[in-house]
Chain A
Amino acid sequence: MKTNDMNQVAVHAIFILLAAFCLIPFVLLFMSSVSSESSIVNNGYSFWPKEFSLEAYTYLWSQKSAMFNSYGITILITLIGTFVGLLISALLAYPLSRRDLPMRSILSFLVFFTLLFNGGLVPTYLIYTEVFHMKNTLLALIVPGLLTNGFFILLIRTFFANSIPVQIIESAYIDGASEFKIFIRMILPLSLPILATIGLMLTINYWNDWFNGLIYITEPQLFSIQNLLNRMLVNIQFLQQNNLGGQNMAVNLPMNAVRMAMAVVGILPLILIYPFFQKYFVKGLTIGAVK
């Protein structure tokens, strides 16, 4: 029983306010990115700039090799990371979901213990840099994120255990199929929902990751979009100083507007695909909680 009409109005009003609260920062960001630099310097970032201008975007376009480079890095690590991460997770989760697996409890414990205890930043950092020498390599952006702990494994394993009847596995085995064939031909197709969900979460994590780049990368060539944004947040002259773009525009670089434009460029892809994947995303979140 829903509330009556009067209260519906109130409820809608509340949500319009809430929605505004959520969206306002984005509006400010976007509006600032299409302001002229002088209007920002004189009047600050505003919702309706005194003077519209696309100079920030023009500047970014002049730096397009740096932009394309970092976009390329982001897309590359997202694609590879999601694919490999999903593969490793599924391969690890499937045997754990099989009740007939020998040593199942020990192995499960080993995997899920990682959810409880973490070595910490310092040892992890030292392992990746001193032992595996991954500093300033593309691997440093991909590997740490593949499988941070057993959480995704837990989700996938639960799915396998609950949604795939043991009987069909058994009958396939009796019919002579090898474990690998069962996995590839039967299990994977049946688990598209969970793979899509986890894949989506991995994609978002990789797209948004800036931390790995922050600690492992100092070479500007390897900056992802988020890393580039990060450096620019702190050092407004970053693009200029590092001469990444090649093109050197003289003075009066629209730095304030450029920062905002850069941020818009950083979130645009996610916002564009969001409507399409929202359903899966919501489902993924609830799977995680309803365990």
Chain B
Amino acid sequence: MAKTGWAATFKKLKRYRALFIMMIPGLAYLVMNNYLPMFGVVIAFKDINYAKGILGSDWIGFKNFEYLFKTRDAFVITRNTILYNGSFIVLNTTFAIAVAILLNEVRNKLAARFYQSVILLPFLISMVIVGYLVLSMLSAESGYLNLNLLPMLGIEPISWYFEPKYWPYILTIVQLWKATGYLCVIFLAAIVGIDHEYYEAATIDGAGKWHQIRSITVPLIAPTITIMTLLAIGRIFYSDFGLFYQVPLNSGPLQPVTDVIDTYVYRGLMTLGDIGMSSAAGLYQSLVGFVLVLLSNYIVSRRNKENALF
């Protein structure tokens, strides 16, 4: 076999040609679904005129971005995105860890399995269905709250879908309800992996339950917590579109508190037809998201080489 040169390379490629053929569908798909759209970011720099087509439309540089950031919208959606995602990360993680630790304490295996199934169930439901569940509670004319619970407490019915001030709480609770199960499963898996000898030694030394949780459990699942949190932070610019679009039923008056970058981009594209602004916002999101993911992955790999994604 030749050692260097084109002949050798060619021969090597030929030997592996079956493997390359296998990859064709997947790679072609990624090109179509992921890489072609990447080139589409030029749309953010153009003034799209369908008559002229994408390539023929005028290049307007950063005008779309100027316009985007001049309006208050950019500030509102960025603020909403970050505040919501930030609090989601903190709340979800804390809650899920607590639930996982507690679940680990349940002696009855069957009960533990049951509880875990139930807590995980909301995760499987689509946001559209969640929208219905929330509607059954908050509908102004027939919701459970307005017609049953509030009268019992002597409170006037509230027009939920028109009052912005409640929605940060509503969305947070809904989000917590849906996401806890998933995180709990992951943390539980980490907890279960802790060597029992630590606990036994601690018990012999006279450490109480809380002390053990504080000194053994939490520190030993810290790597998992770190990874999950850093990964989440890397995605802080991306929201769950369904949560912010479906659950509030896309109600206009609520937009100052429910509009996030994803809904803004969607509205710009589908409802307003303002391709320039929405693609500028989309690119803004992708770039910042990209930097954040790289950054968080870098930090993770500094702390613990194997935990990083790459």
A278 (CB) vs chain B CBs: closest residue: B117
Cβ 8 A contact of B43, one of A43, A126, A211: A126
What is the number of residues of chain B that contact chain A, defined by CB distance less than 8 Å? Answer: 102
Q: Is the CB of A274 within 8 A of B121?
A: yes
A26 / chain B contacts, CB cutoff of 8 Å = 121, 133
Instruction: Specify the chain B residue showing the minimal Cβ separation from A289.
Output: B186
Best-surrounded residue of A22, A32, A147, A179 (most CB of chain B within 10 A): A22
Docked pose: A95 CA to B24 CA in angstroms: 11
- Shortest C-beta distance, B260 to chain A (Å), equals 13
Q: Are A286 and B185 in contact (CB under 8 A)?
A: yes
Within 8 A of B (CB), among A85-101: 87-89, 91-96, 98, 100-101
Q: Which listed residue (A44, A102, A233) contacts B146, Cβ 8 A?
A: A44
Contact A45 B144 (CB under 8 A): yes
Contact B148 A122 (CB under 8 A): no
Q: Report the minimal beta-carbon distance from A285 to chain B, rounded to whole angstroms.
A: 5
Given A14-B102, A19-B118, A122 and B275 contact (CB-CB distance below 8 Å): yes
Number of A-B contacts (CB under 8 A): 289
Mark out the residues of chain B between 103 and 150 whose CB falls within 8 Å of any chain A CB in the assembled complex: 103, 105-107, 111, 114-122, 124-129, 131-137, 139, 141-144, 146-148
Name the B residues within 8 Å of A280 (CB-CB): none
Interface segment out of the listed B14-22, B70-78, B84-92: B14-22
B105 contacts A45, CB within 8 Å? no
State A114–B29 Cα separation when bound (angstroms): 12
Contact of B148 among A46, A87, A93 (CB under 8 A): A46
Chain B residues with CB under 8 Å of A8's CB are: 105-107
- Contact of B120 with A11 in the complex, beta carbons under 8 Å: no
Interface residues of B in 264-293 (CB under 8 A from A): 265-266, 268-270, 275, 278-279, 282-283, 285-286, 289-290, 293
A120 B286 Cβ-Cβ under 8 A: yes
Could you tell me if B133 and A29 are in contact, using CB atoms closer than 8 angstroms? Answer: yes
Contact B26 A91 (CB under 8 A): yes
Q: Which of B12, B54, B122, B146 is within 8 Å of A22, CB to CB?
A: B122
The answer to the question of A67 belonging to the interface, with a C-beta cut-off of 8 Å to chain B, is no
On chain A, the residues within 8 Å of B119 by CB distance are 18-19, 22
Binds B, one of A75-83, A191-199, A238-246, A255-263: A255-263
Contacts of A44 in B (CB 8 A): 139, 141-144, 146-148
Given contacts A1-B199, A12-B111, contact A126 B99 (CB under 8 A): no
- On whether the beta carbons of A122 and B278 are closer than 8 Å, the reply is yes
Closest beta carbon of chain B to A267's beta carbon, Å: 5
Contact: A263 with B129, CB < 8 Å? yes
Main secondary structure of the interface of B (DSSP, over half): helix
Contacts of A121 in B (CB 8 A): 262, 265-266, 269, 278, 282
Contact across chains for B142 and A123 when beta carbons are under 8 A apart: no
Cα A2 to Cα B106 in complex, Å, equals 7
Residue B310 CB within 8 A of the other chain: yes
B241 CB, min distance to chain A CBs, angstroms: 7
Q: A174 at interface (Cβ–Cβ under 8 A)?
A: no
B-side contacts of A118, CB under 8 Å: 34, 37-38, 286, 289
| Least Cβ–Cβ distance between B209 and chain A, in angstroms | 6
Q: Which chain A residues numbered 143 to 190 have a C-beta less than 8 Å away from chain B?
A: 143-144, 146-150, 153, 178-180, 183
Whether a CB of chain B sits under 8 angstroms from the CB of A63 is: no
Chain A's closest residue to B173 (CB) is A21
Interface residue B13 (Cβ < 8 Å from any Cβ of A): yes
Q: Shortest CB–CB separation between residue B286 and chain A, in angstroms?
A: 5
Q: Is A110 an interface residue (CB 8 A)?
A: yes
The residues of B that contact A111 with a CB separation of less than 8 Å are 26-27, 30
B227 and A289 contact, CB distance less than 8 A: yes
A1 to B209, CA, bound (A): 9
A12 touching B25 in the complex, CB below 8 Å, given contacts A1-B200, A25-B136, A285-B185: no
**Are A3 and B209 within 8 A (Cβ)?**
yes
Q: Are A116 and B293 in contact (CB under 8 A)?
A: yes
* Contacts known (A101-B16, A149-B34); A120 close to B285, Cβ less than 8 A: yes
Bitwise, A6-22 to B at CB < 8 A (1) or not (0) is: 01100110110011011
A101 to B122, CA, bound (A): 42
Q: Which of B229-281 contact A (CB under 8 A)?
A: 241-242, 246, 249-250, 262, 265-266, 268-270, 275, 278-279
Partner of B144, one of A28, A112, A215: A28
Contact of B33 with A by CB under 8 A = yes
**Complex contacts, A23 vs chain B, CB 8 Å:** 118, 121
CA gap between A208 and B114 in the complex, in Å:
24
Bound-state CA distance A29–B122 (Å) is: 13
A58 at the interface (CB under 8 A from B): no
Q: Is B94's beta carbon under 8 Å from chain A? A: no
**A290 at interface, CB cutoff 8 A:** yes
Of the A-B pairs whose beta carbons lie under 8 Å apart in the complex, a sample of 25, sorted by A's number, is: A3-B209, A15-B102, A18-B115, A23-B121, A25-B134, A29-B136, A40-B142, A45-B143, A46-B148, A93-B26, A119-B38, A122-B44, A122-B265, A123-B38, A124-B40, A179-B18, A179-B22, A180-B22, A210-B246, A229-B129, A234-B249, A266-B129, A285-B182, A285-B185, A289-B224
Q: A25-B177, A291-B309 are in contact. List 17 more A-B contacts (CB 8 A).
A: A7-B209, A11-B105, A21-B177, A29-B132, A44-B144, A96-B23, A107-B23, A122-B268, A126-B54, A147-B33, A153-B26, A230-B128, A266-B126, A274-B124, A282-B120, A286-B186, A289-B186
Top 10 closest pairs, chain A to chain B, by CB: A123-B40, A44-B147, A92-B26, A119-B37, A120-B282, A179-B18, A208-B126, A123-B37, A95-B19, A122-B279
